A and B are shown apart, each in its own frame.
Chain A
Amino acid sequence: MNQEPITIDEQSNESSRFNQVFDKLQSREFRSTIFHTTISILMALVVAAIIMVATGYDPLSAYSALGLGALLNFDQVLWKATPLLLAGLSVALAFKCGLFNIGAEGQLYMGSIAATAVGYMFALPLGIHIIACLAIGVLAGFLYGLLPGILRAYRGAHEVVTTMMLSYAAVKFTQWLVSEGPMHNPGDSRSVSPFILETAEIGKIFGSPFLSWAFVIAFLCVPLVAFFINKTVMGYEMRAVGLNEEAARTAGIDAKKNMALALGLSGALSGLAGTVEIQSYYHRFYDGWSAGLGFDGITVAVLGRNSPWGVLGGALFFGGLKAGGSFMQTNANVPSEMVQVIQGLVVLFVAAPKLVDWLSKHGIGFASWIKNNPKSGIPSLFSFGYGILCAFLGIVAVGPAVETSFMLLLLGLLVSMGSIAIIVFNLIRDQRSSQITMLISICWFLIAIAGFTMQFVSIGTTSLILGSIGIIIAIWIIKTRPEVIQGQEGIE
């Protein structure tokens, strides 16, 4: 198969690279991604603020403390971001090949324990010791990722199951190693390993007690992974397999080999994450030292949409959240678990760009419909507001009775969820909005009855009021409905 020689044009290579990056930044896709990510983060912050208000905290002071904390302790932000970055890259790389590596945690542990072992068991000269530990840690992670990779590629064992299970195995195995096994620190009552030798430690930078060269290593991995994915044959083949395995196979690509290697490399990155944490900060292996860093890596990868530079952004964002979280706890009295709530909400909204699209499309449609048809629009708007109010108050109103009456709690839950239906039906201008409003009002009356019989006067009165409001709104909607179409509720 001869081809005409195609000359490699060095000139165009240089000038076009800048143009390429510039074009990419300007492209519709990129702008849409930024838009969606920003909106998702904003929506998460808004919902978290609502939760804070409902539970009695002040969101404004919380967020300002969060931001301030992150800015003041920027070295902590970068330190926290380091393992997140590497774990995120790990998950993102696997995903490029169409695989879900959720066992990053386990690969992290295996990498770190291997590095710890080399760290204290062997005395090597400075410089070489560090590299040796890093290398072994990466290798351990690689092998631990290669195993489920081979199982998936050649036997079809779904990697979600195998990586998850192997993750548990790794955590337990390392636990044994440092509690009763050969790596237990002699004479210590805790489950820890001995300290690694000083020659294996990665030094801190900028005089910070937290930040070290580990961040630099992690940061360098970003362009490295990006280069691998986009500019090597293996990266190309992995992406092809991830996007369309059939077509890749038809074109001659060995899908199996690529899948196994992808998980292996993914494991290597997670292993590196574990290794640098031990070498730079902990200096020894504590049982359970990683409080879910591997899983946080998954959320970082999702936020970064599986692109290396996006993962960097995501890692910095989550690092900021974590670093600011403890500041928020001390200075605004908001529990640092709130950070995890925000984290979860961000992932929820990021993973649903369609939700964002749907909300914005229908939201705008709803708003313009109200403007054009005020007669039927205004009651609908009231119903919409009622829905939001009830979604909130459903739980809050039955609050006082939560411990004593299960039924009230259930009813409250029902009202809250049903109110979401009110919101949705109004947004899509469905006919059934009046029905649902009516139904929820009836539920409120039921709660009122139950409340009064159980001597909860406050619940009773609130529910009575809310139920009456609901009935009025529902009747108003029906009264102003443009035409009666018997379409959906057709009688046979």
Chain B
Amino acid sequence: MHLEVLSIYAVELENISKTFPGGVEANKNITLRIEKGEVHGLLGENGAGKSTVMNILYGLLSPSSGKIKINDEEIVLQSPEDAISRGVGMVHQHFKLIQPLTVTENVMLGHESPGRGYNRIALLVTMLFAAFSISLFFSVMDMLSAMIVTTLFVLVIIILYKSFNILTFLLVKLQPHYDKPGVVGYLAKVFSDLFAGLRNVVSLFIPLGIDEAAERIRQIAEENGLAVDPKAKILDISVGLQQRVEIIKALYREAEVLILDEPTSVLTPQEVDELFVTLNRFRDTGKTIILITHKLREPMVLCDRISVLRDGELVGTVNRKETSPEELAKMMVGRSVVFHIEKGPATPGEIVLNVNELSIDDVRGITVVDNISFELRAGEIFGLAGVQGNGQTELIEALTGLTKPKHGQILVRGTDVTGKSPRKMREVGIAHVPEDRHKRGLILPFTIEENLALGDHYLEPYASKKAGVKGFLNLNVFKTNARRLVSDYSIKVGKLTDHANTLSGGNQQKLVVARELSSKPIILVAAQPTRGLDVGATEYIHNVLVNLRDSGVGVFLISAELDEITSLSDRIGVIFNGRLVAIKDPDTTTPEELGLLMAGHVNQTEEVIL
């Protein structure tokens, strides 16, 4: 009898360090040991290094130093393919799906296998070509040669069509001779290499086994309770379903270790619960799950053990049963964190924003904002809850001048600004913190000074007249302005002349907020202001918003984070399918009720508090 010592660890990362060119130390000497069959949470602020260390495990990055062991085998990963072949699968935060393709096509991508059957058109063309050639032979040559040539011709065609199978057969035959010493072994290797190469080339031309793949996907979906239609196109299915496709992709490649990067950031509360059920089922079948997140609720509900990273280092690994959200937050940030903002009651003043029966169509002519009306007063925070994709983006675009509405009116302090340009909206007093700071908020290659002046750059004192001609910039004003804002908002920067893309996510968001607020607006439209931000930065932004409210600004807050809406807002509106389905008082409503409204379940009896 012989003893096999099996490791209890599915994955071991030992002393992993990663320094990016440019000097950023993303990971410093991190050691993680993930047990088989556990759900392990990887918690940390943005910039803490969680995605980096998991990308190293997945083969997307190579560590500067350290060892990786999968199933007790130490390996060096050259690419995600190596990781996948060892059973590691990753579901990224930003899905790697191709929108116009179907579920099956996406799942097969990179992992295509040949199928049975032939390409009918290719066959037809071949037959026509063969018919033509054979008749040519018979017309040009004598009977006997023609027949010989025809036979050879047909043989060649058959061999070409079957080349994949022939080559596979030859490779299988050569396999046992591979390890033989001497000339036999060498020749075997040589010819194997050759045939394998040819086989790779041929495999590019043979028909794809889409039906077989679809069948397998159906099987996987059933076994794991992840119902999805293999023939549906990605752009037609919901975000929750898209995430399921990503999970199926990993299972299709027979992943035993599943890494999920911020999986709940795009889901409704109900979809999150469904995901939790799925993950529990995985755990029961013996799969190992690593959950990357910066939210505190999920690890407490789901994980067995939780590792906390901060500033690239491992702070510690704790058992879920022995810890609490407060302790985890403290480990993440390094100090105690306030979860619920202390705020006094609102003292709303005059109406600053009037939206009357606003309707907006998208480029395809579909109504995405359907007759929305609401008011915003000075000194209050009106929060709009709703799952992304229900019209919030278009509503924000209308309020900030980026889209013209089809019908309706937007009034700022009585002035009609419907359909005006973004510059006009700014001049009237609407400031905008966009939901995608990289796409809309900042110009990343610009310096910090240049970004902080964006929007007001054409006004005094940023620009002035020289010799009577307008339009010359005062760059030193850019500098002094930047210096002031960076210190007022505690933005961590290197030099003011660094490019904006050197800042962390939280600091970039602070930059946007600082810039928008420096124009002393009347209304602030804040779209997902803490998306992708860690606990510390989120706390900061929340404080800024409350202070803004208290100083008399009307804040229109749009967020997919229910906790954020409920803790900050003085009134809560819910948007679904482009309609404002309800307006609630945060003191009297519950997350469950809001969740239902966000998903479109409207109560028969409901009180609407205006």
Contacts and interface: CB of A to CB of B under 8 A. Distances in A.
Contacts of A188: none
A244 B458 contact: no
A233 B443 contact: no
Interface stretch (B253-261, B433-441, B583-591): B433-441
A247 B516 CA distance: 13
B171 interface: yes
A193 B440 CA distance: 53
B554 interface: no
B429 A1 contact: yes
B446 A252 contact: no
Given A8-B476, A13-B476, A248 B443 contact: yes
Given A1-B520, A435-B197, A249 B476 contact: no
B423 interface: yes
Contacts of A484: 178-179, 189
Contacts of A474: 190
A6 B440 contact: no
A251 interface: yes
Given A6-B477, A240-B443, A244-B443, A478 B190 contact: yes
Contacts of B31: none
A248 B475 CA distance: 19
A247 B439 contact: yes
B501 to A, nearest CB: 11
A252 B476 contact: no
B422 A478 contact: no
A478 B189 contact: yes
Contacts, number: 134
A268 B36 CA distance: 69
B194 A439 contact: yes
Contact of A9 (B85, B432, B476): B476
Interface in A444-492: 474-475, 478-479, 484, 487-489, 491-492
A2 B450 CA distance: 20
Contact of A243 (B168, B434, B446): B446
Given A233-B458, A236-B450, A252 B423 contact: yes
B196 interface: yes
Interface string B190-204: 101110110110000
Contacts of B503: none
Contacts of B434: 250
Nearest to A24: B497
A232 B473 contact: yes
A377 to B, nearest CB: 18
Contacts of A492: 113, 168
A254 interface: yes
A432 interface: yes
A8 B479 CA distance: 10
Interface string A224-259: 000000011110110110011011111111100000
Interface string B257-270: 00000000000000
Nearest to B462: A233
A240 B457 CA distance: 11
A136 interface: no
Contacts of B423: 252-254
Interface of A is mostly: helix
B193 A250 contact: no
B73 to A, nearest CB: 13
A483 to B, nearest CB: 12
A246 B440 contact: yes
Q: What is the size category of the interface that chain B forms with chain A?
A: 35 or more
A487 B193 CA distance: 12
A478 B439 contact: no
A207 interface: no
Nearest to A250: B440
B193 A438 contact: yes
B99 interface: no
Contact of B439 (A1, A246, A489): A246
A5 interface: yes
B454 A251 contact: yes
A250 B400 contact: yes
B178 A251 contact: no
A29 to B, nearest CB: 9
A240 B282 CA distance: 48
B545 interface: no
B168 A244 contact: no
Interface in B446-465: 446, 450, 454-455, 457-458, 461, 463
Nearest to A252: B423
B441 A250 contact: yes
A57 B48 CA distance: 59
Contacts of A434: 190, 193
A55 interface: no
Contacts of B441: 247, 250
A28 to B, nearest CB: 8
A3 interface: yes
Contact of A232 (B197, B472, B480): B472
Nearest to A4: B484
B520 A3 contact: yes
Interface string A1-41: 11101111100110010000001000000000000000000
Contacts of A487: 82, 85
A475 B186 contact: yes
B184 interface: no
Interface in A188-229: none
A6 B520 contact: no
Contacts of B463: 233
A262 to B, nearest CB: 15
B175 interface: yes
B481 interface: yes
Interface in A405-453: 432, 434-436, 438-439
B426 A252 contact: yes
Contacts of A3: 461, 518-520
Nearest to B114: A492
B335 to A, nearest CB: 32
A231 B172 contact: no
A13 B473 CA distance: 13
B176 to A, nearest CB: 12
Interface string B489-511: 00000000100000000000000
Contacts of A5: 461
A237 B422 CA distance: 14
A492 B443 CA distance: 50
A289 B457 CA distance: 44
Contacts of A236: 450, 457, 473
B186 A231 contact: no
A247 B442 contact: yes
A478 B446 contact: no
Nearest to B484: A6
A6 B458 contact: no
Contacts of B444: 243-244
A251 B454 CA distance: 7
B225 interface: no
A7 B441 CA distance: 28
A401 B585 CA distance: 89
B84 to A, nearest CB: 11
Given A236-B473, A244-B439, A439-B194, 13 more contacts: A3-B461, A3-B519, A7-B480, A240-B443, A244-B443, A250-B434, A253-B423, A435-B194, A435-B196, A474-B190, A478-B189, A478-B190, A489-B200
6 contacts: A8-B474, A12-B476, A231-B475, A249-B422, A250-B402, A252-B422
Instruction: In the A-B complex, list the 6 residue pairs whose CB atoms are closest, starting with the nearest.
Output: A252-B423, A489-B196, A251-B455, A233-B471, A435-B193, A250-B440
Interface of A: 1-3, 5-9, 12-13, 16, 23, 231-234, 236-237, 239-240, 243-244, 246-254, 432, 434-436, 438-439, 474-475, 478-479, 484, 487-489, 491-492
